[in-house]
Amino acid sequence: MKKRSTTLLIGAFAITALLGACSDDKKSSGSTDTVYCGLITSYKAKANELDSVMSGTDAAAIKAAFTTMQGEVHALDANPPASIAKDVHLMTDTVDRMIAIFVKYDYDFTKLAAAPEATELNTLIDSADYTTAQSNLKAYSKDVCGIPDDTTGS
């Protein structure tokens, strides 16, 4: 059960690191470069904060970090560049679903590890759609923004 809980935490961190990898926009058809870059910069800062929280076991701190992350993701999803809009929408949906599951179990990853939703969450994170969205966001970050893949940590 501890392994499953760790897998869930890694999946949650993967979402934050993935979107945090897109740090600066050069060409944005859904929003202005400056505005979208500001949102991404804010998101990246919050994702970095989440990284430090995830090393602890304080459920209240984890809840606060994920709640903040959810708000940042929704800000990114409000008007993303057209070329990555579908992928950003998928990431937003994934974060919302993940947080709904975490809320159900009061951010207690021990309880969550034994829950049927743990399998659902792992399946979601391992899905072809999610993997494709990850690849597209990483490519956008590198090719359009000139940002190297930074999903291994900050």
pLDDT of residue 36: 66
Considering the entire predicted model, what is its pTM?
0.71
Find the helix or strand (DSSP H, E) in which 89 lies: helix 85-104
> Which residue type is seen at 24?
D
Q: What is the pLDDT of residues 63-75, one digit of tens each?
A: 888 888 888 889 8
**What's the token pair of residue 26?**
């050069």
Q: What is the pLDDT of residues 92-106, one digit of tens each?
A: 998 898 889 889 988
Give the Cα separation of 31 and 138 in Å (integer): 19
